[in-house]
C-alpha cells in the first residue's frame, strides 16, 4: 500500500475511534493551560489534573502565583515528580507573562519558547489549543504510534516525526489528528498492552507483523 493509502486509513480509523478527541488537561484561563502543559512533561495528564485545581484555587491569578512562596508551589506539585524543577519553571513562566508579555499568553511560537520549560512541543500544544493555530506537536504516544505504523523511522526524534506527519496529514487536520493520535496511544495502541487483535489497521504495524 502507498503512504497516502495508509495515512487515509489511519485518519478514517481515528475518526471512527475518537471522533471528539480533545485536550484532557484541566484549565479555565490561557495561562493555566501553559502551566498545565509544562507540568505534563514526563508525567500523565491525570496526574497534572490532580494538582492544578488545588494550585489554581489557592492562587487564582498570575499575581497570586507570582507572590506564592516557591516552597508552597513545590509542596502542591510534589505528587507529579520533578516537582522542584517544575516549580521553578512555573514561577519563571508567571514572572515572564507578567513582566514581558503584560499578562497575555503570546501566540508567537518563538516567544512562547522563551518561557521556562516551554519547548517546541509545549509551544505547539498551546498554539493549537488556545489560538487554533494549526500545529501537530509530537508527544511520546504519537512518537510510538508513528514508528509502529511505519510513518517514521526507528531512530527519529520527535521533531523529525512532526515534520514527517505535517507532510502527509492535511494541515486542516493537524489539531484534530494531534488529539486523536494521543487518544489512540493512550487508550488503544498502548505501550505495554496494545489492542492488536481488535485493531483494523494492524497490517500496517511493525509490532503486529513481527
Q: pLDDT tens digit string along 5-14? A: 889 999 999 9
DSSP assignment of the chain:
--HHHHHHHHHHHHHHH-TT----S--SSHHHHHHHHHHTTTS-HHHHHHHHHHHHHHS-SHHHHHHS-HHHHHHHHGGGSSHHHHHHHHHHHHHHHHHTTTT-----HHHHTTSTT--HHHHHHHHHHHH--------HHHHHHHHHTTSS-TT--HHHHHHHHHHHS-GGGHHHHHHHHHHHHHHTS-SSS--GGG-TTGGG-HHHH-
Answer whether residue 210 shows pLDDT above 70.
no
What is the value of pTM for the model shown?
0.93
Q: Are residues 118 and 185 in the same domain?
A: no
- pLDDT of 196 strictly over 60: yes
118 and 89 in one domain? yes
**Considering its fold, how many domains does the chain have in total?**
2
Catalytic positions are: 121, 139
| 50 and 126 belong to one structural domain | yes
76 and 10 share a domain? no
CATH number at residue 194: 1.10.1670.10
pLDDT at 1 over 70: no
Same domain, 35 and 54: yes
Q: Which of 131, 161, 195 is the last residue of a domain?
A: 131
Domain CATH code at residue 53: 1.10.340.30
Q: Which of 131, 164, 180 is the last residue of a domain?
A: 131
pLDDT tens digits, one per residue of 52-87: 999 999 999 999 999 999 999 999 999 998 999 999
- Residues 65 and 90 sit within 8 Å (Cβ to Cβ): yes
User: Which band of pLDDT confidence, cut at 50, 70 and 90, is reported for residue 4?
Assistant: confident
- Are 97 and 126 within one domain? yes
Query: Are 123 and 157 part of one and the same domain?
Result: no
- Same domain as 150, residue 120: no
Distance from first CA to last CA of the chain, Å, rounded?
Answer: 18
Q: Is the pLDDT at 201 greater than 60, yes or no?
A: yes
Its domain, for residue 42, covers 30-131
> What count of other Cβ atoms lies within 10 Å of the Cβ of residue 87?
21
pLDDT given at position 98:
98
Judge if 124 and 155 occupy the same domain: no
Are residues 45 and 123 part of one domain? yes
Same-domain status, 38 and 101: yes
pLDDT of residue 191: 93
- Residues 41 and 122 placed together within one structural domain of the fold: yes
Select the more confidently predicted residue: 210 or 190: 190
Amino acid at each position: 500500500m502507498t503512504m497516502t493509502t495508509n495515512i487515509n486509513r489511519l485518519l478514517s480509523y481515528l475518526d471512527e475511534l475518537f471522533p471528539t478527541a480533545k485536550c484532557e488537561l484541566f484549565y479555565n484561563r490561557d495561562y493555566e493551560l501553559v502551566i498545565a502543559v509544562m507540568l505534563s512533561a514526563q508525567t500523565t495528564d491525570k496526574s497534572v489534573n490532580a494538582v492544578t485545581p488545588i494550585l489554581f484555587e489557592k492562587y487564582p491569578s498570575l499575581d497570586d502565583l507570582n507572590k506564592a512562596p516557591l516552597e508552597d508551589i513545590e509542596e502542591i506539585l510534589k505528587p507529579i515528580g520533578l516537582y522542584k524543577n517544575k516549580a521553578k519553571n512555573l514561577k519563571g513562566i508567571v514572572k515572564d507573562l507578567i513582566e514581558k508579555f503584560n499578562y497575555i499568553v503570546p501566540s508567537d511560537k518563538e516567544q512562547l519558547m522563551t518561557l521556562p520549560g516551554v519547548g517546541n512541543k509545549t509551544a505547539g500544544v498551546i498554539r493549537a489549543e488556545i489560538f487554533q493555530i494549526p500545529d501537530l506537536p509530537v508527544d511520546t504516544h504519537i512518537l510510538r504510534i508513528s514508528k509502529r505504523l511505519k510513518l517514521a523511522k526507528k531512530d527519529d526524534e520527535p521533531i523529525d516525526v512532526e515534520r514527517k506527519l505535517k507532510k502527509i496529514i492535511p494541515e486542516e487536520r493537524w489539531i484534530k489528528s494531534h488529539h486523536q493520535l494521543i487518544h489512540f496511544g493512550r487508550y488503544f495502541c498502548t505501550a505495554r498492552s496494545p489492542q492488536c487483535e481488535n485493531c483494523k489497521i494492524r497490517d500496517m504495524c511493525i509490532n503486529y507483523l513481527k
